[in-house]
Amino acid sequence: MLERDLEHKFKKEVQKRLNAFVWKFVSPGIAGVPDRLVILPNGGCIFAELKKEGETLRPLQLYRRQQLQKMGMTVWVIDSNEKIQEFINAYKV
């Protein structure tokens, strides 16, 4: 599955099943940030990087993930339908 198709499915499923906002995340001037910011109804925020199946994070993306995690943020790497389901299961109420 192409990354854009997986990203579309992720957005659709998470919005529907978690009643969350799934916003495209861009940060002008800061490369390597995750693709999506998920805002949950309970006030939680999670970052998600969408990848084609089997693809790994580039070095700058790994660095940005580490930066966010040091600030207490959660960053998921989603590269399959199974990972979408794992994400949904992790945040279902």
Check residue 43 and report its DSSP letter: S
| φ and ψ of 37, to 5 deg | -115, 120
Q: What DSSP element (H or E) covers 67?
A: helix 59-70
pLDDT tens digits in sequence order for the chain, 93 residues long: 789 999 999 999 999 999 999 999 999 999 999 999 999 999 999 999 999 998 999 999 999 999 999 999 999 999 999 999 999 999 998
Please tell me the pTM assigned to this model. Answer: 0.94
Q: In what order do the strands lie in the sheet with 74-78?
A: 21-24, 36-39, 45-50, 74-78
Q: How far apart are CA 78 and CA 6, in angstroms?
A: 8
Nearest CA to 30 out of 71, 66, 74, 60 is that of 60
- The residue type found at 12 is K
Task: Look up the CATH number of domain 3-91.
Answer: 3.40.1350.10
